[in-house]
Amino acid sequence: FQFDALTQQPSDLELTKICYNELGTCTSPYNTVVGQSYSVQWTSSNLSSCTASGAWQGKKATAGSISVDPTKAGVYTYNLACTGPGGAQSGKVTVTVGQ
């Protein structure tokens, strides 16, 4: 086994959704319903800058979470594009909110 500390490590980005319903899961056809909160969480490695689009906008930290209390039914897609010394990564999660 050999490890070169000067070799740039690859980047990684992971987005997940967490639904706070009676089952504790994001089941189909609706992940949650109006008035029932959910969260989007993300982690990354070897990334230094992230920008959100879709259901959220603007610069984001390279790791974090947001909590959402939906007021309208619909499909909400959270896109995140990140860059850094390890390269570029993008990801998305989609939350379906029912009545």
- pLDDT tens sequence across 53-87: 999 999 999 999 999 999 999 999 999 999 998 89
Report the pLDDT averaged over residues 34-38: 93
Token couple for 86:
């390890």
pLDDT of residue 4: 61
pLDDT of residue 21: 75
Percent of the chain with pLDDT over 90: 76
**Alpha-carbon separation of residue 32 from 5, 6, 16, 82 (angstroms):** 45, 46, 14, 28
Q: Does the pLDDT of residue 36 top 70, yes or no?
A: yes
Give the contacts of 17 (CB within 8 A, at least 6 positions apart). 26, 31, 38, 39, 40, 41, 78, 93, 94, 95
If you search the block for the tokens 């959100």, which residue do you land on? Answer: 52
pLDDT of residue 39: 96
Q: Report cis status (omega within 30 of 0) of the bond before 85.
A: no
